[in-house]
Structure formats: structure tokens, C-alpha cells
Amino acid sequence: MCRNIKPLFNFKPVATDDELHDAALQFVRKISGFTHPSQANEAAFNAAVEEIAHTARHLMRNLHTTAAPKNREIEAQKARERSAKRFGTKV
């Protein structure tokens, strides 16, 4: 899985449309191999991003959990700590 795509479910506040769009864009970039598509492929690329973002919004609205929502700042700090441990850098 692409490391730039982060879990977006069960956070307070909930994932924004921009976050879902960005995740969809990363996904389409990953599977297509294009960072920026050519003019010939731009329409298909952009349509795929919009379809995946729409599907992701639908998914987020329909998922349910009994777990307490996660705090974005705490999760970001945990990620920084894992990265520091993995790469030997300071937090």
C-alpha cells in the first residue's frame, strides 16, 4: 500500500472532502504510475480521482464502529515516533 495514504476513518473531526480527494489522488497516481498525466490521459485520470473520492466519501459515511474516535495529533505523534525509531532520527 502507498505509504502516503493514511487511514481516515474514526477520527475526530471526521475526514474532510479535501482529505478524501487527496487520498484518491494518491491512489490513482500510484496505480497509474503518473504524477501528472499527459493531455491524452488527463480526463480519464481526473474522472478516476473523482469516482474514487466519491466512493471513499460513501464508504466513510457508511462505516460504523464502537471504538472511540482517534485524536489526529496523537496519531501523528505516534507516526513520528515510529519513523524516528525506524530511521534513527530525533522526534
pLDDT at position 88: 84
Q: What is the full DSSP assignment across 6-75? A: ---SSEESPPPHHHHHHHHHHHHHHHH--SS--HHHHHHHHHHHHHHHHHHHHHHHH---SSPPEEHHHH
Q: Check: pTM over 0.85? Answer yes or no.
A: no
2 or 14, higher pLDDT: 14
Asked whether residue 48 is assigned to any structural domain, the reply reads yes
Asked whether residue 65 is assigned to any structural domain, the reply reads yes
Domain residues for the domain of 23 are: 13-87
Percent above pLDDT 70 for the chain: 93
Asked whether residue 8 is assigned to any structural domain, the reply reads no
Q: How many domains are contained in the chain?
A: 1
Asked whether residue 18 is assigned to any structural domain, the reply reads yes
Asked whether residue 5 is assigned to any structural domain, the reply reads no
Whether 3 shows a pLDDT value over 90: the answer reads no
Asked whether residue 39 is assigned to any structural domain, the reply reads yes
